[in-house]
């Protein structure tokens, strides 16, 4: 199994979800995160003075799938979340040792299988 | 017991060509008119009360979420303490009847309300009863102390602030107020302040200035090299709600200061008040455009308040055209003033000093420039500003410095970083952990210590 972690622009969530659904992916976990990459922070203003916000709001998507599905997910996310501008985010693919579906106790691929 | 404030309003009615005198001698006032006047004055008192909600929202919105409970607690204390101290001493210090012009006291409490004629048209020319008089003035009194609260926010010790504001509202405000509205020496000198640009707003503003200076800026407001580091407020919607509530309350603040429901004068006053508020907002937008290409909502909102404070001294004697000008200049002044105070390292999180002091002074002087009453002069107005400035600066700094030397005025660095909600109250303003329902063993992530709240709270244990 593989876990795909994607850091994306917050307004791209719906596109990402649709892209994943088209690729046959049924579940994902989303969290609100903050960070920066090459985009760095941005400047904000308050009562006449400028300040730099170092950590920008992003969303982190986490999807765990069988090994043969991983590439499909990565492609779907990359296409859905791309604007072409700096700050689009990153996708990471990690190995996963095991997974358990809490309801049934199934292990491995069966636990993450959409069907 | 006649209120000189009422007499002053009457003389304006008589002298200003724009207002037809509808209130004549008390014995000509019909019961119906007396009732109508009194109803308007009670409504005005209720509107001024709403201003305290406005202040609470503005101050919550322009400060950080970790200090919100503390801000709201201070606002809650001030309105309660303000009304009670005004009952005990304030009212009779401010309106002592005949006195030497500097300091008089007509006794504790409200027993005068039971005297014969205290609730008849004879009491105040048919404008209102004794009880309404107290209520309306008590709502005003608490306003002056609330102004200080915003400027000292996020770093002052709660106990010390409570002591300061109780003394300020019980003694400083009413004694200062007696000099004009109580018929004291500034009234005799011809000084004019219709609804309190100086008596309420500058007095509060001077207190705020002293507090902010003695406390010093919040941690993190200035970098080590002295650079200004903005500390953004937690909620622009709350700030906006607060300013609109204050604007609403000002209908009572200025409209009630006519001290009757005189049709012409009351409606005239509401028009000048609204025009100045609107042009204050626009003035601040224009002035801020010279600072930044991106408009700042908090400055525009400060501009509205600036316009309101600015017109307050002369809302009944400044014509609409000039009211727009007074408000516009106030709105521009407030932007410059906020930037200036930031530059000279006087940290005022909500802009209270700029709104209430800077524009309070401007509004008071504006009476000397634009009043339709030829008896008002710039020199006398400046004299009044000076007297109130001296007295309030001396009193406020004496109280603050005494507190600093005894109880301490500022929370510790650690408490300030953690937030006053936890260090002073052991309580968050917003439930950031979610809102768990009833569970036998308490919500997840929380555990009951079994101790009563009276035992010392140790917030860092959470």
pLDDT at A14: 93
pLDDT at B166: 95
Q: d(Cα B378, Cα B367) in Å, to the nearest integer?
A: 7
Please give the residue that has the higher pLDDT: either A12 or B117.
Answer: A12
Question: Any CB–CB contact under 8 A between B288 and chain A?
Answer: yes
Question: Any CB–CB contact under 8 A between A44 and chain B?
Answer: yes
| β-strands A42-46, A29-35 pairing | unpaired
Question: Any CB–CB contact under 8 A between B291 and chain A?
Answer: yes
Q: d(Cα B300, Cα B282) in Å, to the nearest integer?
A: 7
Identify any residues that bridge with A50 across adjacent strands, giving them in sequence order.
A45
Q: Which fold does the domain A2-112 belong to in CATH?
A: Alpha-Beta Plaits (3.30.70)
pLDDT at B104: 86
Question: Any CB–CB contact under 8 A between B229 and chain A?
Answer: yes
Does residue B129 lie within any of the structural domains? yes
| pLDDT tens profile B3-48 | 444 444 444 443 443 444 444 455 578 999 999 999 999 999 999 9
Q: Which chain A residues in 49-68 lie under 8 Å from chain B, judged by CB atoms?
A: 49-51
- On chain A, the residues whose CB falls within 8 A of the CB of B342 are 47-49
pLDDT at B11: 41
The burial of B38, by beta-carbon neighbours within 10 Å (0-12 exposed, 13-18 middle, 19 or more buried), is given as buried
* Residue in the structure block whose two tokens are 């004794």: B130
In the A/B pair of chains, how many CB contacts fall below 8 A?
35
Please answer yes or no on whether A48 and B298 come within 8 Å at the CB atom.
no
- Which one-letter DSSP state was computed for residue A35? E
pLDDT at B438: 46
Question: Does residue B277 contact residue B308 with C-beta atoms inside 8 Å?
Answer: yes
Does residue B439 lie within any of the structural domains? no
pLDDT at B25: 53
pLDDT at B10: 40
DSSP E strand stretches across chain A: 2-8, 29-35, 42-46, 49-53, 56-65, 89-95
Question: Does residue B381 contact residue B192 with C-beta atoms inside 8 Å?
Answer: yes
Both tokens assigned to B229: 């580091």
- Which one-letter DSSP state was computed for residue B348? -
Q: What CATH number does the domain containing B256 carry? A: 1.10.3430.10
Q: Which chain B residues in 16-75 lie under 8 Å from chain A, judged by CB atoms?
A: none
Q: d(Cα B66, Cα B414) in Å, to the nearest integer?
A: 13
Question: Does residue B388 contact residue B198 with C-beta atoms inside 8 Å?
Answer: yes
Identify any residues that bridge with A90 across adjacent strands, giving them in sequence order.
A7
Residues whose CB falls within 8 Å of the CB of residue B226, separated by 6 or more in sequence, listed in order:
none
Does residue B421 lie within any of the structural domains? no
pLDDT at B178: 95
* pLDDT for residue A58 is more than 50: yes
Q: d(Cα B203, Cα B140) in Å, to the nearest integer?
A: 12
pLDDT at A38: 83
Does residue B449 lie within any of the structural domains? no
Q: d(Cα B124, Cα B321) in Å, to the nearest integer?
A: 32
ipTM metric: 0.75
- On chain B, the residues whose CB falls within 8 A of the CB of A47 are 230, 296, 298-299, 338, 342, 351
Q: d(Cα B462, Cα B459) in Å, to the nearest integer?
A: 6
Look at residue B103 and give its three-state secondary structure.
Answer: coil
Question: Does residue B309 contact residue B246 with C-beta atoms inside 8 Å?
Answer: no
Look at residue A4 and give its three-state secondary structure.
Answer: strand
pLDDT at B102: 84
* pTM as predicted: 0.85
Q: Of A48, A52, A54, which to mutate for an interface test with B (greatest number of B Cβ within 10 Å)?
A: A48
Q: d(Cα B130, Cα A79) in Å, to the nearest integer?
A: 75
> Within 10 Å of residue B17's Cβ, how many Cβ atoms?
6
Count of the separate structural domains present in chain B: 1
Please answer yes or no on whether A46 and B298 come within 8 Å at the CB atom.
yes
| β-strands A56-65, A29-35 pairing | antiparallel
For residue B330, give the nearest of B303, B290, B301, B368 by alpha carbon. Answer: B303
The burial of A12, by beta-carbon neighbours within 10 Å (0-12 exposed, 13-18 middle, 19 or more buried), is given as buried
Look at residue B182 and give its three-state secondary structure.
Answer: coil
Give the residues of chain B that fall short of pLDDT 50.
1-24, 435-439, 457-462
Residue range(s) defining the domain that contains residue B285: 4-17+30-405
How many Cα neighbours within 13 Å face the side chain of B397?
A: 11
Mean pLDDT of the A10-26 span: 92
Please answer yes or no on whether A44 and B296 come within 8 Å at the CB atom.
no
> Within 10 Å of residue B201's Cβ, how many Cβ atoms?
33
């Amino acid at each position: 199994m593989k876990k795909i972690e994607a850091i994306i622009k917050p307004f791209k969530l719906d596109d990402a979800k649709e892209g994943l659904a088209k690729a046959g992916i049924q579940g994902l976990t989303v969290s609100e995160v903050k960070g920066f990459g090459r985009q760095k922070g941005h400047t904000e203003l308050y009562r006449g003075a400028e300040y730099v916000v170092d950590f920008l709001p992003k969303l982190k998507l986490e999807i765990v799938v069988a090994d043969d599905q991983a590439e499909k997910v990565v492609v779907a996310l990359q296409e859905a979340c791309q604007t072409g501008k700096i700050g689009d985010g990153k996708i990471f693919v990690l190995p996963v040792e095991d997974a358990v579906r809490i309801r049934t106790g199934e292990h491995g691929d069966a636990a993450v299988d959409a069907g | 017991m006649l209120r000189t404030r009422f007499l002053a309003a009457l003389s304006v009615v008589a002298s200003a060509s724009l207002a037809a005198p509808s209130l004549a001698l008390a014995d000509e006032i019909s019961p119906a008119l007396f009732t109508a006047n009194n109803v308007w004055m009670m409504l005005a008192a209720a509107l001024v009360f709403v201003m305290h909600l406005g202040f609470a929202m503005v101050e919550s919105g322009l400060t950080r979420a970790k200090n919100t409970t503390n801000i709201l607690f201070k606002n809650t204390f001030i309105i309660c303490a303000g009304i009670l101290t005004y009952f005990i001493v304030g009212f009779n210090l401010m309106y002592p009847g005949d006195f030497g012009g500097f300091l008089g006291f007509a006794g504790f409490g409200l027993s005068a309300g039971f005297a014969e004629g205290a609730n008849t048209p004879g009491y105040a020319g048919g404008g209102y009863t004794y009880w309404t008089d107290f209520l309306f003035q008590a709502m005003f009194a608490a306003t002056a102390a609330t102004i200080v609260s915003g400027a000292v926010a996020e770093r002052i010790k709660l106990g010390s602030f409570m002591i300061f504001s109780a003394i300020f509202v019980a003694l400083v405000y009413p004694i200062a107020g007696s000099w004009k509205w109580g018929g004291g020496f500034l009234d005799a000198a011809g000084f004019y302040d219709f609804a309190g640009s100086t008596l309420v707003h500058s007095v509060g503003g001077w207190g705020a200035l002293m507090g902010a200076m003695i406390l010093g800026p919040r941690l993190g407001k200035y970098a080590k090299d002295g650079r200004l580091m903005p500390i953004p407020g937690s909620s622009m919607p709350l700030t906006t709600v607060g300013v609109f509530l204050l604007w609403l309350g000002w209908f009572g603040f200025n409209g009630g200061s006519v001290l009757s429901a005189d049709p012409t004068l009351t409606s005239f006053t509401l028009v000048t008040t609204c025009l100045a508020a609107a042009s204050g907002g626009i003035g601040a937008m224009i002035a801020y455009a010279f600072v930044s290409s991106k408009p700042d909502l908090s400055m525009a909102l400060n501009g509205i308040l600036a316009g309101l404070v600015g017109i307050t001294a002369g809302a009944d004697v400044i014509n609409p055209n000039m009211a727009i000008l007074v408000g516009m200049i106030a709105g521009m002044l407030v932007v410059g003033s906020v930037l200036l105070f930031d530059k000279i390292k006087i940290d005022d999180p909500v802009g209270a000093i700029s709104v209430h002091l800077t524009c309070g002074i401007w509004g008071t002087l504006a009476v000397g420039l634009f009043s339709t009453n030829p008896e008002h002069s710039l020199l006398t107005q400046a004299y009044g500003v000076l007297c109130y400035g001296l007295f309030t600066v001396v009193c406020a700094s004496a109280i603050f410095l005494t507190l600093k030397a005894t109880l301490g005025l500022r929370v510790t660095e650690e408490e300030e970083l953690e937030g006053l909600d936890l260090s002073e109250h052991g309580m968050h303003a917003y439930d950031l952990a979610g809102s768990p329902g009833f569970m036998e063993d308490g919500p997840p992530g929380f555990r009951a210590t079994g101790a009563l709240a009276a035992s010392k709270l140790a917030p860092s244990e959470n």
